[in-house]
Amino acid sequence: MKKGIIGLMLAMMSVAGYAQSVVGKWVTEGGDSQVEIYQSGDKLNGKIVWLKSGDGKLDSKNPDKKLQSRKLVGTNILTGLAKNGDKWEGGKIYNPKNGKTYKCSMWLEGNELKVRGYVAMFYETQTWTKK
């Protein structure tokens, strides 16, 4: 009986933890791309896995000339996010539309992921939805 109750409690905790996970595929605001967020050690990263415009689009705005010929699908745009309470912080987000990299944080609000890129006191927050 005791083992059954403990097993049930562990199962419930794992379901609750899964429901709060940001790991997986997310559709970006506007629906023009999908990003797969994955764990690497104790950090989270995210890479583009789909583009509405097709998988042949290149990273033409990248300030590093050597990277301008790489395909955007497969490119990491989120790097180094660490869990801090209910948020993931201290990471970076790369915006392939302008070739710039920003500080980044993200958090869940219900079934939506809020992704914020910022420089100093200026920021933009996007809402991503689970695929």
For 28, 74, 94, 95, 114, the CA distances from 107, given in Å and listed in that order, are: 14, 23, 18, 19, 5
Each residue of 44-100: pLDDT tens digit?
A: 999 999 999 999 999 999 999 999 999 999 999 999 999 999 999 999 999 999 999
Long-range contacts formed by 89-96: CB under 8 A, 24+ apart: 91/43, 91/44, 93/117, 96/48, 96/59, 96/61, 96/62, 96/72
Q: How confident is the model at residue 103 (pLDDT cuts 50, 70, 90)?
A: very high
Q: How confident is the model at residue 1 (pLDDT cuts 50, 70, 90)?
A: low
Q: Which two tokens stand for residue 63?
A: 């300030």
pLDDT at 48: 98
| Calculated CA dihedral for residues 43, 65, 72, 116, nearest 10 degrees | 50
Domains in the chain, CATH or no CATH each:
22-130 (2.40.128.520)
Each residue of 34-47: pLDDT tens digit?
A: 999 999 999 999 99
pLDDT at 31: 96
Sign of the dihedral defined by the CA atoms of residues 68, 73, 77, 80, in that order: negative
Each residue of 12-32: pLDDT tens digit?
A: 443 334 346 999 999 999 999
pTM across the whole model: 0.83
